[in-house]
Amino acid sequence: MEQIIIERTTLADIKKLQEIGRTTFSEAFAAVNTEENMKEYLEKGFSEEKLTGELSNQDSQFYFALLDGKVIGYLKINTGQAQTEKLNLDALEIERIYILKAFYGQKVGQLLYQKAIDIAHEIRASYVWLGVWEENYRALRFYEKNGFITFNKHKFWLGDDEQTDLMMKKVLVNENELKVS
């Protein structure tokens, strides 16, 4: 396999972001949600207007995972006021890591996750947190394997279906704090 490149996304990439967002979300959740709820979420959640706002927000960043120039997954992180829950302003939220199903198990998610952790260290975030659907067992295992623990819950609406996300976090220790003077 060729090397996977992680690249920051810009407004010029909005159509690619819309496509990978809708495709990966559908692959992950269409089989366990109603067609109507999926259609509504995909239209609203990945509308050009919504994505333009997110891409324009200085406290949000998107990254593509690229293989041979093709987008195979993406990451969205939030800091400061862009976080979906008002927690610590010095925390970093991983809002989305989604991969095309054809690339599950090939460490693409791990590369995107590591990008988020690297950025968290760069900005000296005190911790990284995220919300993951309580029935998304694959994602739960992934985050637990990477040292996240559940600390709370919040509601997530998919169309008219109220779902529960487990809020998970990983406390970070910055390298500078480890050095002995």
Burial of 115 (0-12, 13-18, 19+ CB in 10 A): buried
Alpha-carbon distances of 32 from 26, 36, 134, 141, rounded to whole Å = 10, 12, 13, 18
The position carrying tokens 């970070």 is: 172
- Distance, in Å, from the CA atom of 162 to the CA atom of 148, rounded to the nearest integer, reads 24
Taking alpha carbons only, the member of 128, 109, 112 closest to residue 120 is 128
- Residues with a known catalytic role: 143
- Distance, in Å, from the CA atom of 170 to the CA atom of 151, rounded to the nearest integer, reads 10
Taking alpha carbons only, the member of 104, 11, 25, 121 closest to residue 62 is 11
Six token digits for residue 66: 């690229």
